Structure 1
């Protein structure tokens, strides 16, 4: 063993130890690897930093921009809402719908691309369902990797082994030759991920969530509000017809706050924010439905006096309402012109398009009279209205925004560009699946189109780049080159093959599977396959074994990059948003690797006899 080989093995061992210890951030460890390799002389300094210009790193950065555009235009939330409607609040049902979707997508486009596009969807789903992202993101990543096993173009290792067979004068694998084995692993893997893996996933992600902004319910709870949202329909003869809420004295007479008006059946597009000049309507076919915030005890008197009918409030409509309307907590500074005025005199609807729901004074919620309570410096107010109006408070000199709820981050800032973003996404997928453009060009064009069409701003694009993931991927890529350049990788392969070359075909397949899977945890599965494919086919021919099952085992093993966060860019992508540690991947991923190994050894000889 040469000194260069010893240095590379030592670097790899120290890197793994640092990753497992979790004492130093993984992106910092990756930068340490870059420096060590640059100083070693095994590869040049230019080669050590070349990972930052690798197509896979640029592609992932562009996919972050595409994913951010899908989030900002509401496409991600819409997809998450569909999955939530199908899966409900059950984590099992959600995964039953989510995992096949990402696997099918990964069968035809890059699994890295599929995961990058679905991360905003999953985060939105987790937010709305109350689940932790850690319960969904790792299963998402693993299902995407398994999805790559389904077709010839699903992942580069499949193409590499097929091309190697053609180069050896053999019949290459067809487009769907991988499907039977890949489908079996997908079904078994889904069962494992849904029934077993979620019990192994970390619970500490909840601690991360506690540091984020509170939700609407938490903020409103500090004001001791016993009120609830209700939907009331105007009926014939109601005195509210053609009046504004102020003219109808709903707040002063009945202590009821109208948040919104629903017209034409309560669809999202029909929700109207209630401003100072908004008039309630009654027509024979289209009666306004009022979304009000009121005490339950006052509703009977209100409905009887004003001829209103209580309506049901389905969860779907509540979800639509929450996407349009919310709350914020603001502070009244001493210099504000609102000081020493009542809520009515403050004309909050005229000034801000928002309604005051509650007041806190001296850190305690207080009983509030719309006409009598005088506002004083230091009061904190709970305001309700459309998210657009809440965002506009940020520039106000009369009020200081103390806290906006976490839900505000879920609200699209470029919702009107949703159809444009969807067209760009579909065009990107078509170009990638048909081969009209290479993956990098298609994704870069899509990212640029998203920015130029206003689906995402340039500032939002920069913020979307996950530096931890990009640095980790770029920093670890040179290690694969150093292992190849020093001969360390060839040394490992040659010694293992010499041990199993005279064994049975099943032992040969198992050994190559384990070697390929092991190496794929630390270096690119593409690089691993490039190195092992010629050795595997040569060994099979020399021992008189049909190369097809051996090459299939190598291809499937290359996609079992489950045990480390650096095994695949897919794993690295979910590392930060899932708040995972290095050991989490090993705990959940190794059993899945063993499951894939068992199915490969059982089914491969049946599909491709030795």
Structure 2
């Protein structure tokens, strides 16, 4: 071996050790490896840094921003609510609907985001059907992972695989090149989980009881004011309730301080009416985008113009505080405390573990443990945590959605996909243009776009590509291919692809899917010609093995999201996933050989 090869192997070994043990963050490890390659002379600086301007990194940046636009405009939420209604209460039907929805969404957005979105939906479906959520949560995580195989941009690993093929002198993949394999995997996983797989799922309830839901605040009470000139004025009460049923539930209706509780079907709303509603955090934050509606407390007690200052209503002006057990606030009505004068904030919402709130929110007597949503200037919000009357101050867990820009976000996303699919633009340019498009269309601000970038992932991919470049430049990729190719030469092309899939599936349990592809894809591409297999088929099998392997909760972060809420144990994933992963290997090999039949 040459000195550069020995140095490269030493850096590679240390890098893998740090990644497996997680002593340092993966992005930091990637950067350390990059610097080490330059310092030791294995790579020139321009070669080491080329990953930051590479196609995979640019495509991932665009995909992150487009995903954020889908969430920020409420498209994902609307889709989720529709799925929840369709899912019903039967286990088999719910499995099919939730898994298909998760797979389709993950084809164009980050699978971890989709898993997080689907967890409360699946839990709600399970509660309505009176069966354990463990029957749904693992299949949802599985479907979100498998759904990434439907498009090239579904997972960073596929973008890296495409980059490796192009570096090897091949044309690379199109945005839908892997779709036939993905469709087959999604279809099989649906059948598997609906028939034999669901009997392998545990009937188990997550631990934690009520404590597990202490800060899952789903039922805030707040008051809405119908403003002068509001489009809701003159609207029939039943029509108003129907229009906003996905945002909030109307609990009480006050006119000039008097409740209206009779003949509601024949009455219409008027300016000045106050509605006591029960809403989610997201629904409460969304009120700023509703013309004609305002938070009653802000309009009544705030400074002139506050009620309509929607640009100042952001989540930074909202927080939630918990009433301490021995606070002097306990037993007093909200209106008797004068929160504006004492604390510089206005109470706009109330969450209570038990009990129902009717009448004006201002007349509600506070109890220990009540959680108040308060509105105020950022400096006043920051000072609340030091007040002895409150047990703790918590960030308000919602952001204002730009629902009016939803169709713009959908249109830009569709245009990006079409441009990439028709090869009008390269995939990375199409999605970079889409990212710029959703910002220009005001689906999210430039600051929100930057915040949506998971820089840890971007930096890791850029650094990991330097690792692949070092292996290639020192000739270690060729040496590894020459060593492994004779071992596989005795197998048929089908079994070669199965074994390569298995290698990706095993390595991804200790490394990320992108790192697995960076490490092994160059070797697979080099082995293809001696083995008589198309490089596209070999690299695709490896990448899908790294993405679709469902063996342990450590293989994908989505599994960790459902681990606690589903009450799962480590072995549950292997029991359900081992036969499924073996079937995936066979399906991938079978379809890949028909997509790319020869070298």
Shared fold (TM-score greater than 0.5)?
yes
**Is the contact between residue 75 and residue 406 of structure 2 (CA under 8 Å) also seen in structure 1?**
yes
TM alignment of 1:384-403, pairs within 5 A:
384=349, 393-394=376-377
What residue is the counterpart of 2:327 in the other structure? 363
CA displacement at 1:80 relative to structure 2: 2.2
Superposed CA offset, 1:113-165 (max 9, x none): x233x6545434435666899968853552134435999xx96799899999x
Task: Say if 1:20 and 1:182 are closer, same or farther in 2 by CA, change over 3 A.
Answer: same
What residue is the counterpart of 2:485 in the other structure? 497
Matched, 1:9 2:3: no
Q: SS where residue 78 of structure 2 aligns?
A: helix
- List gaps (5 residues or longer) in structure 1: 221-227, 231-242, 245-259, 294-316, 328-345, 541-546, 566-570
Instruction: Report the structure number with the largest CA radius of gyration.
Output: 1
**Is the contact between residue 81 and residue 125 of structure 1 (CA under 8 Å) also seen in structure 2?**
no
Q: SS where residue 384 of structure 1 aligns?
A: strand
Superposed CA offset, 1:488-526 (max 9, x none): 222122122223424556655545555676788565748
Task: Say if 1:358 and 1:599 are closer, same or farther in 2 by CA, change over 3 A.
Answer: closer
What residue is the counterpart of 1:69 in the other structure? 69
What residue is the counterpart of 2:528 in the other structure? 536
Distance 1:563 1:10 in 2: 30
CA displacement at 1:469 relative to structure 2: 1.5
What residue is the counterpart of 1:214 in the other structure? 215
Distance 1:147 1:385 in 2: 43
**Is the contact between residue 501 and residue 545 of structure 2 (CA under 8 Å) also seen in structure 1?**
no
**Is the contact between residue 103 and residue 148 of structure 1 (CA under 8 Å) also seen in structure 2?**
no
What residue is the counterpart of 2:109 in the other structure? 115
What residue is the counterpart of 1:477 in the other structure? 465
CA displacement at 1:440 relative to structure 2: 1.9
**Is the contact between residue 30 and residue 476 of structure 1 (CA under 8 Å) also seen in structure 2?**
yes
Matched, 1:427 2:391: no
What residue is the counterpart of 1:467 in the other structure? 455
CA displacement at 1:97 relative to structure 2: 3.3
**Is the contact between residue 521 and residue 542 of structure 2 (CA under 8 Å) also seen in structure 1?**
no
TM alignment of 1:197-346, pairs within 5 A:
214-216=215-217, 262=237, 264-268=239-243, 286-288=266-268, 323-325=282-284
Cα RMSD over matched residues? 6.1
**Is the contact between residue 161 and residue 517 of structure 2 (CA under 8 Å) also seen in structure 1?**
no
Distance 2:207 2:60 in 1: 24
CA displacement at 1:190 relative to structure 2: 4.8
- Taking structure 1 as the reference length, what is the TM-score of the superposition? 0.61
Distance 1:46 1:422 in 2: 38
Aligned with residue 143 of structure 1, among 142, 146, 150? 146
Distance 1:91 1:561 in 2: 29
More displaced, 593-602 or 370-379? Answer: 370-379
Aligned with residue 436 of structure 1, among 400, 424, 437? 424
Task: Say if 1:86 and 1:36 are closer, same or farther in 2 by CA, change over 3 A.
Answer: farther
Distance 1:507 1:480 in 2: 26
What residue is the counterpart of 1:350 in the other structure? 300
Distance 1:480 1:80 in 2: 39
Distance 2:381 2:500 in 1: 70
Q: SS where residue 349 of structure 2 aligns?
A: strand
**Is the contact between residue 345 and residue 376 of structure 2 (CA under 8 Å) also seen in structure 1?**
no
- Taking structure 2 as the reference length, what is the TM-score of the superposition? 0.61
**Is the contact between residue 18 and residue 24 of structure 1 (CA under 8 Å) also seen in structure 2?**
yes
What residue is the counterpart of 2:313 in the other structure? none
Task: Say if 1:447 and 1:160 are closer, same or farther in 2 by CA, change over 3 A.
Answer: closer
Distance 2:446 2:174 in 1: 43
Distance 2:183 2:335 in 1: 67
- List gaps (5 residues or longer) in structure 2: 124-132, 227-234, 287-295, 308-317, 352-371, 386-391, 565-569
**Is the contact between residue 345 and residue 380 of structure 2 (CA under 8 Å) also seen in structure 1?**
no
**Is the contact between residue 145 and residue 559 of structure 1 (CA under 8 Å) also seen in structure 2?**
no
